[in-house]
Structure 1
Amino acid sequence: MTSAFNHTDLLATLAEIEPESALAQARDTRDAATEHTQGSYNALFNSNENLNDFPLHERLSLAQQIARWHGDIQLGAHYAERLNALQSDAWVSRSRQQSALAHAERLSFKPANATAEHLEELQKAGWTLNSIVTLSQLIAYVSFQSRLLRGYRLINGKPTEDNGPHSVGAAFWRTDAKTHSGKKAPKAFTQDELNWEPWIASKPLKDFNAEQQETLARFGHSDSDYFRLLARNLPVLEQRTLTDKGIFFTPGGLPRKDRELAAAVASKINGCIFCASVHARKAAQLSKNPEAVQRLLDTPPGDILSHGQEARWQAEIDFSAALSATPATANAQQIQQLRALGLSDLELLDLVQSTAFFAWANRLMLTLGEPFEK
């Protein structure tokens, strides 16, 4: 691998962020999110740890296609450049390649359409359980990365692609009465607590070594099927968890209630009932306005999520919805409106990062398992 691609901050380069700019200072304030967003990229594209059955040329080729599906010229060009520099002639079976592309297209455009049978198809095509988790992480990460890049460029006053109308309606979601295993499935968005079960086996705690178990325990992941499933690639999970904490659990900037609102908006756009339940409940608690949050959750497919909200939440919801679309349609006019409502560069950064992270989280929750009612 050439040193030209060992970026210390890839997104700063692609977003053309000047070191002394207000956006650079805001990202320095959110240094944990900045560091571990890059750390996640390094774990997926600058490392081979836990990736022996998922060669780099396959990873880069998929990332290039995902970036293109997201209408992201800069990111697509970056992955194309890396792929061309690799000059790999390694052979990949057609069924393996086609199954990965189908999984990537589904996660990119309609993650709520995923089923347990789709993961079975990947296994039949030769994907191991570990590599299915890494494949899903890669697709979801590039979806996150692309939205970060668009958001950064908008805050930074740099041009972005016109990907269509910025008014984005709520998505459809799964309404099956039962889960794959026969449990009662939620049929509507809710603030109630839900459970979640994986479609492929999570890794038993006893199969992790002592150091790995300590890492899981440090983040409170030891007893979670979801996180022990993602821990089939523990380096990526660790960087993802630290990115999450850097985005949502930092002082100042955008109020936490608004960050949680952005997560709920993204989850509505992607059709993720489980994630929406967690973050809508938190937004309702912190804002002390559960009715407004429930209004958002009750928005039917195709309708605009911001209807009936107060001015600031309306603007934030519209922006988060547009940034969550595939391809993302958030634009400079929306940034100007948010600035007119008093949002600082740090608050805008928090809004972008909170929204974008759920392009990642939703795509894992929706395609590796499903929620069920307690």
Structure 2
Amino acid sequence: MTVAQEQATDLLATLAEIESGSTLAQARETREAATAHIQGSYNALFNSNELIAEFPLADRLAIAQQIARWHADIQLGAHYAERLHALQAESPSRSRLQSALAHAERLTFKPANATAEHLQQLEAAGWTPDAIVTLSQLVAFVSFQSRLLRGYRLINGKSTLDNGTATVGAAFWNTEPKTYSGQPAPTAFTQAELGWEPWIASKPLQDFTAEQQEILARFGHTDSDYFRLLGRNLPVLEQRTLTDKGIFFTSGGLPRKDRELAAAVASKINGCIYCASVHARKAAQLSKDPDAVQRLLDTSPGDILSVGQDARWQAEIDFAAALSATPATANEKQIQSLRDLGLSDLELLDLVQSTAFFAWANRLMLTLGEPFEY
């Protein structure tokens, strides 16, 4: 298959066995922007060498294959293995690959344990700031992909690997009172506004071309350290931002308050105080029930996030938590419970995509920098 053919392929539809004309296919067509830019994100990471020549495709595919295996995703792992085998490239540098895999394993399983020193170790192993950003995007994106695939297969009535059915509890999070630079750090989940600072330098605005600055400005990212850091690989950032908008800023389907709730749940499971603060605040504003949202945020490590919520939010929270686990444990019974509460395939798709996107977002926020209190 040529690069042009791969770019035209809806990879996830193929791997999830989504039949043309099915209700899930129609729902994904309704969310055409998200569908297109999820594929566009894949193309930017795995069908392009723009800005990432120092991170060869063989290395990218080898790391992606391992991440998919960590997520117990058979179809996705096989896809990356097939592409790597077909490439017949030279084996990557062992020391360089080992440092990347250590970073990838941390992002996959324990992103809240990341520190500034871990990025320094990558730099010492020869990874440039640009390559570190691309590596982090790759790990986080495959984490997103694997959850989309499980969610799609569940909605579509296809088989999924049984990774256990126990209700997933809240995770631990970083409780250090100071950031790496010495600013006060939040030690508990909150609806308050927080700042965020990077552990490697954001790209200065003047180092972007006029066209690139226009892209940043279009999304309102010009003054953001976070987005100018991710702008070290602007094609991936652009596709990721458009994916975000296609998932969260669309009409119909799952109410926006429930999409924001799903983002907050994923952030609790991953231990991301910053993302949870943003999306819990939005869920509280839209639902007009800040107390219910705060109960979610106050859940202690190991405890069940859905306790004390109404029936619909209980079912959505339990499903989002299970989809956010590593490997994901979301199952057919949870999907049926949501259907019994009246959720359509479009609403289920929105719930899956809103939750899965924060497997991507949390892993970037937690491992490239940290929040601080104003």
TM-score, length-normalised on structure 1? 0.99
Amino acid at match of 1:258: D
User: What is the DSSP-based 3-state SS (H/G/I as helix, E as strand, rest coil) of the residue aligned with 2:126?
Assistant: coil
Q: What is the CA distance between 1:2 and its match in structure 2?
A: 3.6
Q: How does 1:109-258 map to 2 (within 5 A)?
A: 109-258=109-258
Q: How does 1:1-374 map to 2 (within 5 A)?
A: 2=2, 5-90=6-91, 92-374=92-374
User: What is the DSSP-based 3-state SS (H/G/I as helix, E as strand, rest coil) of the residue aligned with 1:320?
Assistant: helix
CA deviation map 1:106-129 (0-9, x unaligned)? 000000000000000000000000
In the alignment, the residues of structure 1 paired with residue 90 and residue 269 of structure 2 have an alpha-carbon distance, to the nearest angstrom, of: 39
Q: What is the CA distance between 1:97 and its match in structure 2?
A: 1.0
8 Å CA contact 1:171, 1:269 repeated in 2: yes
Amino acid at match of 1:182: G
CA deviation map 1:215-236 (0-9, x unaligned)? 0000000000000000000000
Amino acid at match of 2:125: A
8 Å CA contact 1:67, 1:142 repeated in 2: yes
Q: What is the CA distance between 1:5 and its match in structure 2?
A: 4.0
In the alignment, the residues of structure 1 paired with residue 154 and residue 6 of structure 2 have an alpha-carbon distance, to the nearest angstrom, of: 24
CA deviation map 1:198-221 (0-9, x unaligned)? 000000000001000000000000
User: What is the DSSP-based 3-state SS (H/G/I as helix, E as strand, rest coil) of the residue aligned with 2:169?
Assistant: coil
In the alignment, the residues of structure 1 paired with residue 189 and residue 12 of structure 2 have an alpha-carbon distance, to the nearest angstrom, of: 34
In the alignment, the residues of structure 2 paired with residue 126 and residue 289 of structure 1 have an alpha-carbon distance, to the nearest angstrom, of: 49
In the alignment, the residues of structure 2 paired with residue 97 and residue 89 of structure 1 have an alpha-carbon distance, to the nearest angstrom, of: 13
User: What is the DSSP-based 3-state SS (H/G/I as helix, E as strand, rest coil) of the residue aligned with 1:196?
Assistant: strand
CA deviation map 1:251-276 (0-9, x unaligned)? 00000000000000000000000000
Amino acid at match of 1:127: W
User: What is the DSSP-based 3-state SS (H/G/I as helix, E as strand, rest coil) of the residue aligned with 1:158?
Assistant: coil
Gaps of 5+ in 1: none
User: What is the DSSP-based 3-state SS (H/G/I as helix, E as strand, rest coil) of the residue aligned with 2:159?
Assistant: coil
CA deviation map 1:142-199 (0-9, x unaligned)? 0000000000000000000011234101000000010000000000000000000000
In the alignment, the residues of structure 1 paired with residue 94 and residue 175 of structure 2 have an alpha-carbon distance, to the nearest angstrom, of: 34
8 Å CA contact 1:5, 1:82 repeated in 2: no
Once superposed, what is the RMSD of the aligned Cα atoms?
0.9
8 Å CA contact 2:7, 2:39 repeated in 1: no
In the alignment, the residues of structure 1 paired with residue 8 and residue 273 of structure 2 have an alpha-carbon distance, to the nearest angstrom, of: 36
Q: What is the CA distance between 1:6 and its match in structure 2?
A: 4.1
In the alignment, the residues of structure 1 paired with residue 166 and residue 216 of structure 2 have an alpha-carbon distance, to the nearest angstrom, of: 40
User: How many residues are matched?
Assistant: 373
Amino acid at match of 1:64: Q
In the alignment, the residues of structure 1 paired with residue 19 and residue 107 of structure 2 have an alpha-carbon distance, to the nearest angstrom, of: 33
8 Å CA contact 1:166, 1:330 repeated in 2: no
Gaps of 5+ in 2: none
In the alignment, the residues of structure 2 paired with residue 89 and residue 27 of structure 1 have an alpha-carbon distance, to the nearest angstrom, of: 38
In the alignment, the residues of structure 1 paired with residue 13 and residue 356 of structure 2 have an alpha-carbon distance, to the nearest angstrom, of: 16
Q: What is the CA distance between 1:28 and its match in structure 2?
A: 0.4
User: What is the DSSP-based 3-state SS (H/G/I as helix, E as strand, rest coil) of the residue aligned with 1:372?
Assistant: strand
CA deviation map 1:303-337 (0-9, x unaligned)? 01000100000000000000000000000010000
In the alignment, the residues of structure 2 paired with residue 22 and residue 93 of structure 1 have an alpha-carbon distance, to the nearest angstrom, of: 46
In the alignment, the residues of structure 2 paired with residue 215 and residue 62 of structure 1 have an alpha-carbon distance, to the nearest angstrom, of: 29
In the alignment, the residues of structure 1 paired with residue 200 and residue 361 of structure 2 have an alpha-carbon distance, to the nearest angstrom, of: 17
8 Å CA contact 1:166, 1:331 repeated in 2: no
In the alignment, the residues of structure 1 paired with residue 116 and residue 169 of structure 2 have an alpha-carbon distance, to the nearest angstrom, of: 27
User: What is the DSSP-based 3-state SS (H/G/I as helix, E as strand, rest coil) of the residue aligned with 1:370?
Assistant: strand
8 Å CA contact 1:23, 1:155 repeated in 2: yes
Amino acid at match of 1:333: K
Amino acid at match of 1:280: A
Q: What is the CA distance between 1:96 and its match in structure 2?
A: 1.0
In the alignment, the residues of structure 2 paired with residue 219 and residue 40 of structure 1 have an alpha-carbon distance, to the nearest angstrom, of: 16
Amino acid at match of 2:136: S
User: What is the DSSP-based 3-state SS (H/G/I as helix, E as strand, rest coil) of the residue aligned with 2:237?
Assistant: helix
8 Å CA contact 2:7, 2:40 repeated in 1: no
In the alignment, the residues of structure 2 paired with residue 2 and residue 86 of structure 1 have an alpha-carbon distance, to the nearest angstrom, of: 12
CA deviation map 1:51-105 (0-9, x unaligned)? 1100000000000000000010000000000001001124x33221111000000
Q: Alignment identity in percent?
A: 82
8 Å CA contact 1:164, 1:329 repeated in 2: yes
Q: What is the CA distance between 1:8 and its match in structure 2?
A: 2.0
In the alignment, the residues of structure 2 paired with residue 281 and residue 41 of structure 1 have an alpha-carbon distance, to the nearest angstrom, of: 30
Query: Per the alignment, do residues 166 and 347 of structure 1 end up closer, same or farther by CA in structure 2, a change over 3 Å counting?
Result: farther
User: What is the DSSP-based 3-state SS (H/G/I as helix, E as strand, rest coil) of the residue aligned with 1:371?
Assistant: strand
